[in-house]
Every structure is written in structure tokens, then in C-alpha cells.
Amino acid sequence: MRIIIKDRRQLPSAARKILDFSGGKRIFAMHGTLGAGKTTLIKAICKVLGAEDNITSPSFTLVNEYLTVDGKALYHIDFYRIKKPDELFDIGIEEYLSSGSYCFLEWPELAGDFIPSDALHIAIAVGKNEERILNIS
């Protein structure tokens, strides 16, 4: 599936389309360059899921947990500062990924074999007019 976002006001609609397309998958691997909009898209998806917390980048904390209005946990994990996949044992990556909760993963290519094969992959590219092009598989 492909979605083009020309304006931030389209983010909630794009988030709903992604959730509908996901088929119940709960692990979302977000690919894109710095500044492509991974955190912004995750924020929109979390809001559609009912997150009440302030959604921020976990670049320094590695993992942020947000709660929905009904108390369900959403996990936002950023692998940008990971030097080798073995470091992920220290943050309990296996527990997050097997929790049954939504997990939004930034820089999944740095996580090695930890990313489940059935994860939903979202590649974000910046177009010529600064629009965001999402390729979802």
C-alpha cells in the first residue's frame, strides 16, 4: 500500500488507513532518513489508538511507553543509538515485542534479527515538494 501525505492535517487519516491495512499486526517497523517523519507518524498512529500521553522521540531513552484512554500500553522504541543488536537484551526487547501491545520501532535495520518476520514495514520518503511518501508492506 502507498500513501502520500501532502499536509500534516492528513496524518490522522493516514494513521487510520495504516491501522486498517495492518490486519491486526502490532509491530510496526518504521524506515526513513533523519527528519523523514517517523516520530511524527508514530505520534499520529498513537493518537488514533487513544494515547493520552505526550508522544516524543525515545532517541535518548530508547523506549517510551504511552498509555491509551483504556489503559493499554503502546511502546515506541528507537534503535538509533544501538551499536550492536546484542545491546537490545539489556532493554528487554523480547518482552516488548512479545507483549501483544503495539510496538513502533524506529531504525529497525539496526536491530538485526530481533524484528519479527511478520512486522508491518513502513518506509517513509520525502518527495520533491516535501510531501511524505509511505510505502507499507
Q: 67-88, pLDDT tens digit by residue?
A: 999 999 999 999 999 999 889 9
What's the sign of the alpha-carbon dihedral 132, 106, 23, 19?
negative
To the nearest 10°, report the CA torsion of 77, 82, 87, 91. Answer: -20
Given the candidates 3.40.50.300, 3.30.450.90, 1.10.3720.10, 3.30.1330.10, the CATH classification of the domain at 2-136 is 3.40.50.300
Beta strands in the chain (DSSP E): 2-5, 27-31, 63-67, 73-78, 102-106, 120-126, 132-136
pLDDT at 120 over 80: yes
Domain extent listing, the chain: 2-136
Q: How far is CA 31 from the centre of its chain?
A: 9
Contact between residue 53 and residue 66 where contact means Cβ atoms under 8 Å apart: yes
Q: How does pLDDT run across 40-57, given as a tens digit for each residue?
A: 999 999 999 999 988 888
CA 81 to chain centre: 16
Query: What share of the chain has pLDDT > 70, as a percent?
Result: 100
* pTM confidence score: 0.95
